[in-house]
Amino acid sequence: MTRLQTLLLIVATCTALAAGPAQSPTFRLWSDDISGTVPQAHVYDGFGCTGDNVSPHLAWSGAPKGTRSFVLTVFDPDAPTGSGFWHWVVANIPASSTTIARNASRTPRMPAGSIETRTDFGDAGYHGPCPPAGGQPHRYIFTLHALTVDRIDVDTGTSGALVGLLTNANRLASASFTATYGR
């Protein structure tokens, strides 16, 4: 091998190593129903709010290699509780799932095997935004967590905080978006 060939081989090898492994697509979560502000259709119907309480369409792509299940959370960090407020918690979503249909909460249209757990409203299922009247708009953080396990040990009575603990112990990656709502 000539000196030039050796030099070219070294340059090619260094270039390949610097590039690193092939990148997987970016893990992302989005909604066809919500962009920026939560529409009235997805606002809670109660506590002075008059929305339709329809769970939004959600979709995701680019889950990392090794994902075995997902957990979805919708959380209001601005709730005047001192600890935020869980609006929707769904565990054990199969790794093969890529969407949750609009108005699927509490129906057989949820991904097979998934479990909606207890929210801070006291029961399982989607509960839309309903911040106190007259205050600043609240943030609603929709997060999909990719997990390294097929399922976490929860049922419909498990709190959002406990689901969060189990999720954090098994999380591979997360994707989220934030929407706001005020009244």
Mean pLDDT of the region 1-23: 36
Q: What is the CB neighbour count within 10 angstroms for residue 2?
A: 7
DSSP 139: E
Which tokens sit at 93? 């979503």
Instruction: Write down the residue that tokens 């070219």 correspond to.
Output: 8
At 15-51, the pLDDT tens digits run 332 333 233 469 999 999 999 999 999 999 999 999 9
Sheet of strand 99-100: strand arrangement: 28-30, 58-61, 99-100
Nearest to 90 by CA among 44, 66, 126: 126
**Per-residue pLDDT at 16:** 31
**137 Cα distance to chain centroid:** 21
Torsion of the alpha carbons at 63, 70, 126 and 98, rounded to the nearest 10: 40
Domains of the chain: 26-181 (3.90.280.10)
Strands (DSSP E) found in the chain: 28-30, 45-46, 49-50, 58-61, 69-76, 85-94, 99-100, 115-116, 138-147, 171-181
Which tokens sit at 20? 């690193």
Higher pLDDT residue, 17 or 104?
Answer: 104
Which tokens sit at 106? 């509490």
Q: What pTM, to 2 d.p., does this model score?
A: 0.86
Secondary structure of residue 87 in the 3-state scheme: strand
What percent of the chain is modeled with pLDDT above 70? 86
**Per-residue pLDDT at 3:** 55
